[in-house]
Structure 1
Amino acid sequence: MIRYSLKCGAGHGFDSWFKGAEAFSALKAAGQVICPVCGSATVEKELMAPAVRPARKAAAPKPDLSAPGSELEEKIAALRRQIEANSEYVGMNFAAEARAIHAGDAPERTIHGEAKPDEARAMIEEGLPVAPLPFLPARKVN
């Protein structure tokens, strides 16, 4: 496994793991390496330094990974809290439940959940008022 530091055409930096250089090249050529911030498939490897472990005595304190790392992360966390507090999570039944609400066959309410890309595309084409969320459901977060 190899970790690459990547940067999209809009300047967003991120990193990702790949089986090797060939796997990265194949995924990039297929348009499957995308920026998690803006969704751009224009992604390039950045210059990287090898990972060198510091001596045990010189190890830096561990960062608080539960705290937002940027203003954008804080805004996304606030949006997530607002959505979770004011809507019902319907899981993988999102497409069916959204269609039922839109048709008047289910009670009118605000919902959020998961849909496969083809289901999401179909709902948008049908004119359902849906939008993707910029975060994963809590059960899918590491």
Structure 2
Amino acid sequence: MIIFDLICADGEHRFEGWFGSSKDYAEQQDRGLLDCPVCGSKNIAKAAMAPNLARKGNQEPAATKPVDNPSVPQVTKPVSNRVAVPAEYQKMIGKLVKAQEKMLANSEWVGDKFADRARDIHYGDADEKPIHGTASQEEVADLAEEGIAALPLPLPVLPPKSKN
């Protein structure tokens, strides 16, 4: 897995993207599969990133100075060696993870056939049941024009076959 810092050129929103390789990123970019999670823009590029280098085995970690400002949330546990997340954010994300897991527990993964399956269910050609999968912004817009609701999940979902 490789993590890129991405930026939306339209709204300057920064976010992370996880890819199997640089080639996967390039292919998804070429196919128009990348979009901003904040505004939906397809104008996405890699943001400047500092390399994530491990320190030498004989070096001590740098001491961190505590923040004296009480309005700044105190970080309790880093998510990675690049970003520290305040405890209250960790709790919120944990609740969001549990809520999404509960939502998807009885939902069927349909992969890139989401738009077709949503139409089949909407028009009565398939049994009504919760589904989740992937769809392009264009497919979601087409569904909306047909009166078919499709909402993005708050967190990324790994296809069932890709899980360890």
TM over 0.5, shorter chain: yes
Counterpart of 1:107 (choices 121, 127, 150) is 127
| SS of match in other structure, 1:106 | coil
Question: 1:102 Cα deviation (Å)?
Answer: 0.7
- Using the aligned pairs only, state the percent identity: 32
Instruction: Report the CA distance shift for 1:89/1:52 in structure 2 as closer, same or farther (over 3 A).
Output: closer
Matched residue SS, 1:86: coil
Identify the structure with bigger relative contact order (alpha carbons < 8 Å, sequence gap 6+).
Answer: 1
Q: Which has the higher helix share?
A: 1
Aligned to 2:141: 121
Match in the other structure for 2:99: 79
Could you give the per-residue CA deviations for residues 86-123 of structure 1, whole angstroms, max 9, x where no partner exists? 21111111111111111111111111111122111100
State the alpha-carbon separation in 2 of the partners of residues 88 and 40 from structure 1.
25
Q: How does 1:5-84 map to 2 (within 5 A)?
A: 14=15, 36=37, 38-39=38-39, 54-58=55-59, 69=85, 70-71=89-90, 72-84=92-104
Structure in which a larger fraction of residues adopt strand = 2
**Distance in 2 (alpha carbons) for counterparts of 1:126 and 1:5:** 32
Taking structure 2 as the reference length, the TM-score comes to 0.49
User: Deviation of residue 138 (structure 1)?
Assistant: 0.8
- Structure 2 residues without counterparts, runs of 5 or longer: 23-33, 42-46, 62-77
Q: Hey, what does 1:135 align to over in structure 2?
A: 155
Runs of 4+ residues over 6 Å off in structure 1: 3-8, 48-52
Give the corresponding residue for 1:27: none
SS at match of 1:138: coil
Deviation at 1:5, TM superposition (A): 8.9
TM-score, structure 1 normalization: 0.55
Structure 1 gap ranges (5+): 20-32
What corresponds to 2:75 in structure 1? Answer: none
Secondary structure of the 1:57 match is coil
